[in-house]
């Protein structure tokens, strides 16, 4: 399917048919998801493909029993944790060394990335450094708090989610990216760490005839595109 066709085809589906989603469709979409751009290539996301019936039932309940979850053939939970940078950092350092990357790139992954994700009292120190440096020249203003760090991770995960749903659409199936869920219960169900965040739950299946509430609606492009 043409890229722009896939973009137009993607809709938030509220009800699905009973048609099964082939496993290869899911795996291909997940492979596309992890190709999404992400901050410093730290890949702090996790994808939980719900396979067991009991877990699926509990997740549907945590998703407020909405039809987009209840009628889905597959459910995917996308979560982040700032400490996940520690998982990728050794592999990234090995990679940049293997390709003989410039020294600043190696230094960036060895020293600056851990500083960026460092929380606690160091966040206050970073905030002061950003503030005073910014008085004299343009400078990044964050992340300077645990909330900022999580926001960076969430942005990256959201890009991966978009890759995933477009890959599903390109293969002839449909999705709904749900924010209507009890995050505490989802975290408990998947045994996620305290500082984890559930970015969204994605349902997957074939759209039913009444799967959407009507034609797609967007406000005019001229209201949101600003040429300055």
pLDDT at 129: 81
Strand order of the β-sheet with 45-49 is 45-49, 74-80, 197-205, 174-178
pLDDT at 140: 79
What is the per-residue pLDDT across 83-113, written as a single tens digit (0 to 9) for each? 999 999 999 999 999 999 999 999 999 998 9
pLDDT at 28: 98
Spatial contact of 73 and 19, defined as CB atoms under 8 Å apart: yes
pLDDT at 64: 98
For 3-85+148-223, CATH number out of 3.40.718.10, 3.30.70.990, 3.90.1150.10, 3.40.109.10 equals 3.40.109.10
CA–CA distance, 199 with 125 (Å, rounded to integer): 28
CB count within 10 Å of CB 156 equals 22
| DSSP alpha helix (H) spans, 83-120 | 85-98, 103-107, 113-117
What is the per-residue pLDDT across 30-89, written as a single tens digit (0 to 9) for each? 999 999 999 999 999 999 999 999 999 999 999 999 999 999 999 999 999 999 999 999
What is the per-residue pLDDT across 164-216, written as a single tens digit (0 to 9) for each? 999 999 999 999 999 999 999 999 999 999 999 999 999 999 999 999 999 99
What is the per-residue pLDDT across 112-147, written as a single tens digit (0 to 9) for each? 899 888 877 777 887 788 788 888 999 877 788 889
The full set of domain ranges for the chain reads 3-85+148-223, 87-134
């Amino acid at each position: 399917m043409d890229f722009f066709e896939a973009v137009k085809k993607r809709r938030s589906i509220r009800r699905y048919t009973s048609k099964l989603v082939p496993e290869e469709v899911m795996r291909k979409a997940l492979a596309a998801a992890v190709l999404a751009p992400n901050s410093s290539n730290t890949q702090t996301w996790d994808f939980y493909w719900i396979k067991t019936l009991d877990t699926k039932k509990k997740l549907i309940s945590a998703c407020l029993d909405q039809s987009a979850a209840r009628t889905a053939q597959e459910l995917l939970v996308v979560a982040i944790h700032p400490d996940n940078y520690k998982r990728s950092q050794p592999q990234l350092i090995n990679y940049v060394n293997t390709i003989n990357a410039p020294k600043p790139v190696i230094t960036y992954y060895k020293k600056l990335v851990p500083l960026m994700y460092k929380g606690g009292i160091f966040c206050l120190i970073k905030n002061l450094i950003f503030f005073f440096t910014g008085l004299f020249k343009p400078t990044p203003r964050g992340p300077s708090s645990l909330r900022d760090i999580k926001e960076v991770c969430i942005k990256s995960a959201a890009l991966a989610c978009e890759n995933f749903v477009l890959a599903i659409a390109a293969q002839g199936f449909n999705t709904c990216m749900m924010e209507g869920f009890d995050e505490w219960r989802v975290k408990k169900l998947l045994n996620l760490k305290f500082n984890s965040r559930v970015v969204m739950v994605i349902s997957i299946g074939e759209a039913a005839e009444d799967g959407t509430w009507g034609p797609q609606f967007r406000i005019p492009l001229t209201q949101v595109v600003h040429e300055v």
